[in-house]
Amino acid sequence: MYITARRLASFLVLGSLMCLSAIAGNINRTGTAGAQELLIPVGARGVALGGSNVAFVNGVDAIYWNPAGLARSSFGTEAQFSHMTYLADIGVEYGAVGVTAEGIGTFGVSLKSLNFGDIPVTTEDNPDGTGQTYSPTYVTTGLSYSRLLSDRISIGATFNLVSESIMSTSATGFSFDAGVQYSGLGVPELKLGIVVKNVGPNITYSGSDLLRQGSTVGDIRGTQWYNVQAAAFELPSQMEIALAYDKKLNEMNAISIFSDYENNNYQDDIWKFGAEYSFKSLFFVRGGYNLSPNAPKDPTGKASELYDYTLGAGINYDLGGVNFTLDYAYRHVVFMNANQVFTVKLGF
């Protein structure tokens, strides 16, 4: 069983590395992908670490970051609820549940929803608003599966249904994530994680809002309704390769160090770094930093990165049969208000 698991993991790693050339970044494609809500992170711990925890994330928190870690949960059932204050006063709500079936694997379901609030309706004749409002609906629903192939190797995958609706125009599609985690890479404390995310077919908008009235000069048919054919958009596919070093210093103190390289198809590649200190596995302090060396420079000569440093903290407590975790994250945003994330996780 161990040999089979090792060969399978090696195949997944090799296949992921080959995908680097397939989804390699292209500066001419920056900003051309749709379904950007797939890139919005969830879970305060991962956000506080700058997204560098792909190799070490475990349990229900792994559904977004690397589904291979879902099977590494310490509990039979986990539930997670998260709220983020995102850009432009957009709220991001997220919930997920993971359940382990002994001998089969671990299954997870997740739901991410964006709250845009009420947006005034404007037209050519009423640029200041008609008095009406609308609110887009962006929902991503996920179904995940993860399994431990051995005490060192785990694999996992997530199927996401992506749904976007703006007034009477909507688009629906799906994306696929797949990952692997390997523990004990040379030394017991060193871990490797690889994940490919947001892979799927193009998505196209359709709906009655794309209908337009028009006529041609001399057209005996008069005014006609014409359907505007919306161009299809691709998904923001990406691949991440990460390392993590987890060291228990003594009975009360432990430290974890993380690094991650994110290769993006439709934006600049990102180097991510993070660290976490834990006291008696009850209290945690975290920090992270994102770096895009190849990002274009702004007029001041500084790289035009939207996100840079992250901070966070968390507590973990056994409530007598129920494990309770509360995490907070602060993500600095250049030129805009910071993102803040609150996450509650329960383990049974």
Least confident of 3-17, 196-210, 245-259: 3-17
pLDDT of 23 over the 50 cut = no
Average pLDDT over residues 327-348: 95
- For residue 335, name the pLDDT band (cuts at 50, 70, 90): confident
In which region does residue 27 sit, left (phi positive, over 0), alpha (psi from -120 to 50) or beta (all else)?
A: alpha
Is residue 18 predicted with pLDDT exceeding 50?
no
Residues 6+ apart with CB under 8 A from 188: none
Q: C-alpha distances in angstroms, 91 versus 39, 106, 326?
A: 14, 29, 19
Helix or strand (DSSP H, E) at 10: helix 2-22
Letter for the amino acid at 268?
D
**Residue whose entry in the numeric block shows the structure tokens 């051995």:** 150
Give domain limits for the chain: 2-347
| Confidence (pLDDT) at 321 | 87
Buried b (16+ CB within 10 A) or exposed e, 248-262: eeeeeebebbbbbbb
Token pair in block for residue 170: 């909507």
The torsion angles phi and psi of 105, rounded to 5 degrees, stand at 145, -165
The mean pLDDT of the chain is: 89
- Choose among 319, 315, 342: nearest CA to 330: 342
pLDDT of residue 27: 59
Residue 244 has pLDDT above 50, yes or no: yes
d(CA 219, CA 71): 65
Partners of 342 in the beta sheet? 83, 328
Residue ranges of E strands in the chain: 77-85, 91-101, 105-115, 119-120, 133-134, 137-148, 153-166, 169-183, 190-199, 206-207, 211-214, 224-227, 238-248, 253-264, 270-279, 283-291, 307-318, 323-333, 339-347
Using the CB atoms, write b or e for 194-229: b if 16+ within 10 Å: bbbbbbbeebebeeeeeeeeeeeeeeeeeeeeeeee
Q: pLDDT-based confidence at 20, cuts 50/70/90?
A: very low
Banded pLDDT at 216 (limits 50, 70, 90):
low
pLDDT digits (tens, 9 = 90+) for 109-145: 999 999 999 999 998 889 988 999 999 999 999 999 9
For the segment 59-111, what is each residue's pLDDT rounded down to a tens digit? 999 999 999 999 999 999 999 999 999 998 999 999 999 999 999 999 999 99
Q: Which amino acid is located at 151 in the chain? A: D
Mean pLDDT of 29-52: 91
Q: Which of 177, 174, 214, 213 is nearest to 193 (CA)?
A: 177
At 28, the pLDDT band (50, 70, 90 cuts) reads low
Higher pLDDT: 296 or 59? It is: 59
pLDDT band at residue 209 under the 50/70/90 scheme: confident
What pLDDT is stored for residue 2 in this prediction? 42
- 152-207 residue pLDDT tens: 999 999 999 999 999 999 999 999 999 999 998 888 899 999 999 999 999 999 99
Q: How far apart are CA 19 and CA 28, in angstroms?
A: 19
3-state secondary structure 163-225: EEEECCEEEEEEEEEEEEEEECCCCCCEEEEEEEEEECCCECCEEHHHEEEECCCCCCCCCEE
The correct answer on CATH 1.10.3210.50 for the domain covering 2-347 is no
Type of residue found at 26: N
Other beta carbons within 10 Å of 334: 13
Task: List beta partners, residue 278.
Answer: 254, 284
Can you read off the two tokens belonging to residue 209?
Answer: 């809002």
Q: Which residues, other chains included, contact 28 with Cβ-Cβ below 8 Å and sequence gap of 6+?
A: none
- Tell me how far the alpha carbon of residue 39 is from its chain's centroid: 5
21 pLDDT band (50/70/90 cuts)? very low
Average pLDDT of span 318-344: 95
> What are the φ and ψ backbone dihedral angles of 81, each rounded to 5 degrees?
-135, 130
CA angle, 255 as apex, 320 and 264 as ends, to 5°?
105
Q: Which residues pair with 228 in a beta bridge?
A: none
Dihedral of alpha carbons 60, 66, 67, 71, sign: negative
Q: What integer pLDDT is reported at residue 102 of this predicted model?
A: 92
The pLDDT of residue 248: 93
pLDDT at 320: 87
pLDDT, residue 191, reads 95
Q: How far is CA 26 from the centre of its chain?
A: 21
